[in-house]
């Protein structure tokens, strides 16, 4: 992913709310499945890591990206942005 594409996705994610919250149980198989399904529908999602989660947000983002075959767009503080184009009819067109 180029820096231009990453900047484009950051701009799109800026106006979106976090749809998942990672809590003290950290990543569970159910959470990974839910994120995978959300990525297929939305392509770009934002997650929030709660204060009671003691895992590093960067490690959580890397693990989620690996398990869902997504790309980590950005991790700022306790916010994670993930992107994965939909297999059928992608909605987001990345700049070249």
pLDDT, tens digit (0-9, with 9 covering 90-100), for 39-78 = 999 999 999 999 998 899 999 999 999 999 999 999 999 9
Angle, CA of 87, 5 and 89, to the nearest 5°:
20
> Where in the sequence is the domain holding 71, given as residue range(s)?
3-83
**5-9, 22-26, 92-96: range with lowest mean pLDDT:** 92-96
Q: What is the pLDDT of residue 51?
A: 92
CATH number at residue 43: 3.30.110.60
State the Cα–Cα distance between residues 80 and 78, nearest whole angstrom.
Answer: 7
- Cβ–Cβ < 8 Å for 75, 57: yes
For 57-78, letters b (16+ CB in 10 Å) and e give beebbeebbeebebebbbbeeb
Q: What is the average pLDDT score of the chain?
A: 92
Percent of the chain with pLDDT over 70: 100
Is position 94 within any domain?
Answer: no
Give the global pTM: 0.91
Domains: count for the chain: 1
């Amino acid at each position: 992913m180029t820096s231009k594409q990453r900047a484009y996705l950051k701009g799109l994610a800026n106006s979106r709310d976090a749809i998942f919250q990672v809590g003290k149980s950290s990543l569970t198989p159910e959470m990974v499945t839910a994120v995978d399904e959300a990525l297929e529908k939305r392509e770009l999602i934002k997650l929030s890591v709660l204060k009671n989660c003691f895992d590093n947000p960067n490690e959580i983002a890397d693990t989620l990206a690996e398990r869902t075959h997504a790309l980590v767009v950005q991790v700022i503080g306790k916010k994670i942005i993930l992107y994965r184009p939909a297999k059928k009819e992608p909605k987001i067109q990345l700049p070249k």
